[in-house]
Amino acid sequence: MGSLHAAIKDWIKKRPYLSEIAKLQEVIATVIDENTAPEQQIDDYDWDHIISEVKKGIPVLKVIKLDNKIIKNAADLLTGIVSALATANLPEKTVQFCQKLQAVLSGNTELASRIIEKVTGDNDVQLKNAGISEIDEGFLVFLAWSSLAETLKPLKSKLMELLEGNRWRRGYCPICGQLPAMGQLVTVAQDQGRERELICGCCQMRWQYRRIGCPYCDNQEQEALKIIEVAEEADLRIDTCDKCKSYLKIYTGEGNRQVALADWSSLHLDLIGEKNGYKRTGYQMYKP
| pLDDT 10s digits, 112-159 | 999 999 888 877 766 655 666 666 778 888 999 999 999 999 999 999
Residues of the chain short of pLDDT 50, as ranges, are none
The answer to whether 202 and 176 are in contact (CB under 8 A) is: yes
Domains parsed from the chain with CATH numbers: 35-153 (no CATH), 168-280 (3.90.1670.10)
Other Cβ atoms within 10 Å of 121 Cβ, number: 12
CA nearest to 31, candidates 82, 97, 65, 99: 82
Q: Which tens digits make up the pLDDT trace of 240-266?
A: 999 999 999 999 998 788 899 999 999
φ, ψ for residue 144 (rounded to 5)?
-65, -45
Q: Give 240's strand partners.
A: 226, 247
